[in-house]
Structures are given as C-alpha cells and as structure tokens.
C-alpha cells in the first residue's frame, strides 16, 4: 500500500485584515510575523532593509495602494 501525501506550498493570503509584528531575536535578526484572522506566518529577510521593504509592500498591498520598489 502506498500513501500519497500532498502539501500546499504556494497559497494565496488575504491581506485586507492583516497585522505585522517585528519578531527580531538573537536567532532571527530580520524576522517578522504576518498575522491574519486565520493564520500566522513567520518570515525572515536577508537584511534589515529587505525586511523593511517587504513590510512596506505588504502594508501597501493590504490597503490596495500602489507600491514602488526603492533601488
């Protein structure tokens, strides 16, 4: 007998009612948590600037405003 397991790797997240919390710790220097009514996701960026850019983009997406990436 074979058991087939299927996992959802990519999923859409509704951002209309989202909160973002900074979770920087000793082990995760550029981490933050995306909190929705149905789930909490912990995300980690490679740098503080990248984390700030992600947070800005997520906040802009949650308010449906446009976001331009700074270079």
In a domain, 37, yes or no: yes
Q: Would you state the pLDDT for residue 23?
A: 83
Give a yes or no: residue 68 inside a domain.
Answer: no
50 with 40: CB under 8 angstroms?
no
pLDDT at position 8, please? 59
Structural domains counted in the chain = 1
pLDDT of 53 reads 92
Q: Are 32 and 21 spatial neighbours (Cβ–Cβ below 8 Å)? A: yes
Global confidence as pTM: 0.66
pLDDT lower than 70: segments of the chain: 1-10, 26-28, 64-71
* Torsion from C-alpha of 53, 55, 61, 64, nearest 10 degrees: -100
- 67 is a domain residue: no
pLDDT of 30:
86
Q: Is residue 6 part of a domain?
A: no
């Amino acid at each position: 007998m074979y058991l087939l397991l299927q996992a959802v790797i990519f999923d859409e997240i509704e951002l209309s009612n989202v909160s973002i919390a900074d979770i920087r710790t000793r082990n995760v220097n550029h981490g933050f948590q995306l909190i929705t009514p149905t789930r909490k996701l912990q995300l980690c960026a490679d740098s503080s600037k990248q984390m700030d850019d992600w947070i800005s983009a997520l906040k802009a997406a949650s308010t449906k405003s446009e976001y331009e990436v700074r270079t």
